[in-house]
Structure 1
């Protein structure tokens, strides 16, 4: 028993129609499935347990790039992470910047959420830095490490929104202090706003 060409063409059109209809539905899911923002907890690659991996400009941390200066990828057990096992000190031997580019829909508003702490092992007590979108400063941040320890880092949540200008957006975090003890970021998330709540 065989299908007629007419019936096969009808089935093909039905399948093609389903595919065309599925595309907007998938796009409507927004960042939940499509932003391709990844590894906001700096889990890849693995740093040595109870230690850290220093990284300099030009090196990568999974989907993140060290854009300038140096940073330390903190391994499991070295200090408390906000999420997962690892976190990132934005100061390695000096102030550093990390960036990640991801897919966005122009004109769409996105929310960036992250956990902030600071390296309590050295001065200054007030760790400062900036969150960047496409190289532009979108949020200044600071964290006072007074009374904080490796076992009790005291992470706080930070959030800001931006409107995507292009099909790809670059999120960055940079330290604005000198020395080897910087602000610490972890659990970075990017979500499409439907709607946004600041």
Structure 2
């Protein structure tokens, strides 16, 4: 199991490195659409997207993911969300402008697809290909109308003028993975100078 998880993270890291190389040659903008609202999936249904396809400003960088449409299940914010397991484990990533040396806080809503096992869904949040936060969510007792979203948060210091944020599933069995929604990234205000007294 650990070997498979390592392979998923390694594959995601390679794909993120490639995505970062591409992004540096393009215009990079602010972080956008953390609620996965565009494009719209069919109401009460979902679209399966594979590596190389996009979900608005997000790119599918490994495996496949499901873009969940309005009404299919409860969203944390807006109408849509992403199941990080499409046909199997997948990953999404977005490149956005950052200030080198600045600190950023990432918050996101986490749940899991309660439609099938395993009950414990696992994944990782990555920054520039590095695993910043492992996450897990137990879907026992949850349903499409009561997803039970929880908020997760971490901080990172930007090393360049563009940063890649990604979410990858490490749930290796089946199409029922961790669910991510309402991703927000804010630059932390610099600390005030220390007083002399």
TM-score normalised to structure 1 length: 0.81
**Which of 31, 44, 47 in structure 2 is aligned with 1:53?**
47
The answer as to 2:97 corresponding to 1:103 is yes
The answer as to 2:37 corresponding to 1:43 is yes
Deviations along 1:124-179, one digit per CA (max 9) or x if unpaired, are: 00000000000110000000000000000000000000000000000000000121
The answer as to 2:71 corresponding to 1:77 is yes
User: Paired residue for 2:113?
Assistant: 119
Q: How does 1:1-198 map to 2 (within 5 A)?
A: 36-178=30-172, 179-194=174-189
Distance apart, 1:45 and its partner CA? 0.2
List runs of 5+ in structure 1 lacking aligned partners.
1-33
Q: Is the 8 A contact 1:35 1:104 kept in 2?
A: no
Q: Which runs of 4+ in 1 moved over 6 A?
A: none
Q: Is the 8 A contact 1:36 1:103 kept in 2?
A: yes
Quote the RMSD (CA, aligned, Å): 1.3
Aligned residue pairs, count? 163
Distance apart, 1:35 and its partner CA? 6.5
Deviations along 1:29-72, one digit per CA (max 9) or x if unpaired, are: xxxxx971000000000000000000000000000000010000
Q: Distance in 2 between matches of 1:134 and 1:114?
A: 17
Aligned-partner SS, 2:132: strand
TM-score normalised to structure 2 length: 0.81
